[in-house]
């Protein structure tokens, strides 16, 4: 097997990443490309777990801002993540990957219930595990779910897949000359309120010394380059950067 830096990864994919240039839903070409990128890493022998968001279908926080009960809105958002998880499972299995979807909300006809030891066993057996429904609780984001699941399955790293090349001090699409951070500490992210992951997720990663790498999912081979140890995106870790 090709030597990789990270043997077990937790990949966080936002729902928005699956809609490409559309304003809503899942674009088949996009999810197929994401599946292909994941499959390339899977073929290297890397154990892959995925937490997927639901913002391309329903955003609980946005609905709550318009007057919907926050708990109800978040529950709807969790169901949206299950739709994305099943779509990603289908895309992966069509190209030859073995997968399991585990849901934090019980829905036995379409997904296994989340059981930590079973998830780890699936990874050890060479299956890609897709975690749906966030943490199963309202008021927690899928970023926090990603940090939590990464700790529970003892992943080596959290890979935060985004639409930009890393973490910037300002929106690079609105401020073209802004320069990307190569490295950051957890505290720098929290103090500057940088849009890496939400504060709960960053704090959880900091407490458990879990590195986070933020990178552009839309560029070919970026997941593969990250697991091989190449300097891609922005790494967030402890004060000593290593």
Full strand arrangement of the beta sheet holding 112-113? 112-113, 99-103, 128-132, 47-52, 8-13, 157-162, 212-216, 234-237, 183-185
Distance CA 207, CA 37 (A): 30
| Cβ within 8 Å of residue 141, ≥6 positions away | 134, 198, 200, 201
Q: Which CATH number fits domain 8-237: 1.20.140.10, 3.40.1160.10, 3.40.50.1820, 3.30.200.20?
A: 3.40.1160.10
Task: Note the pTM of the prediction, 2 decimals.
Answer: 0.94
Distance CA 161, CA 107 (A): 27
Distance CA 4, CA 172 (A): 31
Reduced to 3 states, what is the DSSP secondary structure of residue 46? coil
Q: Which of 190, 170, 197 is nearest to 181 (CA)?
A: 170
Would you state the pLDDT for residue 242? 43
Would you state the pLDDT for residue 238? 87
Domain residue limits, the chain: 8-237
pLDDT in tens, the chain (242 residues): 568 999 999 999 999 889 888 888 999 999 999 999 999 999 999 999 999 999 999 877 788 888 999 999 999 999 999 999 999 999 999 999 999 999 999 999 999 999 999 999 999 999 999 999 999 999 999 999 999 999 999 999 999 998 889 999 988 878 888 999 999 999 999 999 998 999 999 999 999 999 999 999 888 999 999 999 999 999 999 875 44
DSSP letter, residue 178: P
Contact 131, 145 (CB under 8 A): yes
Would you state the pLDDT for residue 241? 45
Q: Which of 103, 92, 98, 198 is nearest to 141 (CA)?
A: 198
Distance CA 185, CA 202 (A): 10
Contact 82, 133 (CB under 8 A): yes
């Amino acid at each position: 097997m090709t030597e990789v830096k990270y043997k077990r990864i937790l990949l966080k994919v936002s729902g928005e990443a699956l809609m490409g240039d559309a304003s809503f839903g899942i674009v088949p070409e996009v999810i197929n490309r994401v599946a292909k990128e994941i499959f390339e890493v899977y073929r290297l022998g890397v154990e892959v777990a995925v937490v997927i968001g639901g913002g391309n279908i329903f955003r609980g926080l946005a609905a709550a801002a318009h007057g919907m009960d926050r708990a109800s809105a978040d529950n709807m958002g969790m169901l949206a993540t299950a739709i994305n998880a099943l779509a990603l499972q289908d895309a992966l299995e069509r190209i030859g990957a073995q997968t399991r979807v585990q849901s934090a909300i019980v829905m036995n006809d379409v997904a296994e219930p989340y059981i930590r030891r079973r998830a780890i066993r699936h990874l050890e057996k060479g299956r890609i595990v897709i975690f749906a429904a966030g943490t199963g609780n309202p008021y927690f984001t899928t970023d926090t779910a990603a940090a939590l699941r990464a700790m529970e399955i003892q992943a080596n790293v959290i890979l935060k897949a985004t639409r930009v090349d890393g973490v910037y001090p300002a929106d690079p699409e609105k401020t073209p000359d802004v320069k990307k951070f190569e490295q950051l500490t957890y505290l720098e992210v929290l103090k500057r309120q940088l849009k890496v992951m939400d504060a709960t997720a960053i704090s959880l990663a900091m407490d458990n010394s879990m590195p986070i790498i933020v990178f552009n999912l839309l560029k070919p081979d970026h997941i593969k380059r990250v697991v091989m140890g190449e300097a891609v995106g922005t790494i967030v870790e402890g004060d000593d950067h290593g």
